[in-house]
Structure 1
């Protein structure tokens, strides 16, 4: 028996931030990053907290380390809020999840509500039971997985993503696609997660380029924000795969933005998982058939499953190039020396990553090293 359940209440569309007006009289702790304060984005939140009974913790950095979480927990225990708001991209929401979870356990704050407000359309963290925290000394990213990390409410306000720079739109948009595609071929995929993943893929191919090309295209911004959330629910149900397993470890060692790393890997991971060597295989893998189905879903033609998979990969690469994304580690300014130094550690970490457990094809160290080689130059 399996269960389909969405714990998080989702407020979406223009004006979604009006929900915050219901927090009047609450003690609110806001977790965010310095840019949200400097840019004035934080005011869109605080102006709706009419009685001003809030505290802002704005020290979140990319790849949040445990030391930051500890500092945030100390601040929460001092303020004793009954509501926590996470405002920002994946790093802010992930940091807030860890701060919230530890604060509840340590400070007897079990009734504290958790609201996530994403300002990028990528991680889907506002609806997942995942968070990623970094051990800076070891250069390792640790995924935290627990239903206790799920926000009570997610607010998808398209106005908050209007000013995101085009390069970040590209990175985060490809993160959405990777989440949806990996969830779709996961060994834990179900009809329910598939429906969400399929819709996310359709939205990405229809709206990501538009969102990249125009900050004023609010339809595209809203649709990509929705796609991110849909893909997040899909992978929260079905988990991910080798793409994220490798990306977590590349990010920890080589410090490339997560969405960009996922984009580099995705074409080669699809080829690996589809396992379509040779022109006339006797039987295609389940993953190959599902990739082919995604291709048909977005209007790609192909004479057989192999052709459809190849054309799906080509369409992904075309989208990356249209958005002027780097196509190799070297184009991300990673030196050959760094790749040689860390590739064994990256491969080892990937094979130990929880995400690899639901990958549709079992991978060896050699397989991971070959994928890393393919994205090197």
Structure 2
């Protein structure tokens, strides 16, 4: 049996933020980062809580790549707050942290019912609709992907106005995260007709709108379509799983603090080439859907790899890890550890081609 699961109420478009006034809550625990507070974005969100008479506490201590230690601390604050809503406002880090707080809070008090609402301010992770949250274990220098239906938000509010001021390089790296989600969902060994529909639309959106959003930040049509594409890619991969681009990116990012989307962007071309032995037909389909010559599987795969590399280059994303200020000696010493971590990553199981330890090492060597 094949199934597709989605529980998140998705509110999108102009004035979507007003949906906050419709949720049945009395006290909200707002999870965000310092920039959201300083920029006034947090105030825009909580103004709707005030209008509805919903009291709130703001936790603004979210940092990039939230750590397990930070999640434990914030969960304690949440439990003491007696909140019946967790409101996540920010990029993937804020949403993942809010999801983890909700998850561990539920485990600590199973009788407590809490509404989880996510407002993404970047077009990247799709975390607002997924069952996955990525937390960093600083002690072992590795990113841990949690996967549980309890992590799926109850509602997502997609308001592209929050993404308008995202800097070009962040737009680029998070946008390539969207593409990686969609491509890996489409080619996953657990892909199905429903995940393919969402993944295809996300892929089309990235190739049509990412560079526009990167080069013209005020282009709200591009911003809106990237935000929708990010959400659709999330709906796809939370049901199909991902692949070794993400497995290696988790390991690479955990050890060398490379932003997740950037790591995915560097790795995706070599993974497409590696997987083409088993997923070449699907890569040809992707090439065709974005208008690339694909008379044969080989031509389609080759042109897709080139198109991804060209998109990266057009946004200043390097082709090699060495261009990301990573020490070569440390990188080469870490190859075996990164490969071992990648093989144990939950994303590897759904990759269309099962890699060996040596395969992962060679792929990591190829992007140096």
Task: Calculate the TM-score normalised by the size of structure 2.
Answer: 0.97
Q: CA deviation at 1:62?
A: 1.1
User: Residue 23 of structure 1 contacts residue 49 of structure 1 at CA under 8 Å; is this kept in 2?
Assistant: no
Counterparts of 1:1-377 in structure 2 under 5 Å?
1-23=1-23, 26-50=26-50, 51=53, 53-108=55-110, 110-275=112-277, 285=278, 287-376=279-368
CA distance in 1, matches of 2:124, 2:67: 20
Q: CA deviation at 1:303?
A: 3.1
CA distance in 2, matches of 1:20, 1:33: 19
User: Residue 203 of structure 1 contacts residue 227 of structure 1 at CA under 8 Å; is this kept in 2?
Assistant: yes
Query: Unpaired segments of 5 or more residues in structure 1?
Result: 276-284
CA distance in 2, matches of 1:363, 1:302: 26
With 108-117 and 10-19 compared, the bigger mean Cα shift is at 108-117
User: Residue 103 of structure 1 contacts residue 109 of structure 1 at CA under 8 Å; is this kept in 2?
Assistant: no
User: Residue 136 of structure 2 contacts residue 142 of structure 2 at CA under 8 Å; is this kept in 1?
Assistant: yes
CA distance in 2, matches of 1:204, 1:314: 15
CA distance in 1, matches of 2:342, 2:90: 27
Say which SS state the counterpart of residue 163 (structure 1) adopts: coil
CA distance in 2, matches of 1:102, 1:200: 31
CA distance in 1, matches of 2:117, 2:294: 44
What CA RMSD, in Å, does the superposition of the two structures yield over aligned residues?
A: 1.1
Relative to 1, partners in 2 of residues 1:303 and 1:52: Cα closer, same or farther, differing over 3 Å? closer
Q: CA deviation at 1:23?
A: 4.2
CA distance in 1, matches of 2:361, 2:107: 40
Say which SS state the counterpart of residue 75 (structure 1) adopts: helix
CA distance in 1, matches of 2:33, 2:334: 29
Q: Which whole-Å deviations, capped at 9, do the CAs of 1:211-240 have from their partners, x for residues lacking one?
A: 001111000000000000000000001000
User: Residue 182 of structure 1 contacts residue 240 of structure 1 at CA under 8 Å; is this kept in 2?
Assistant: yes
User: Residue 188 of structure 2 contacts residue 351 of structure 2 at CA under 8 Å; is this kept in 1?
Assistant: yes
CA distance in 2, matches of 1:62, 1:69: 12
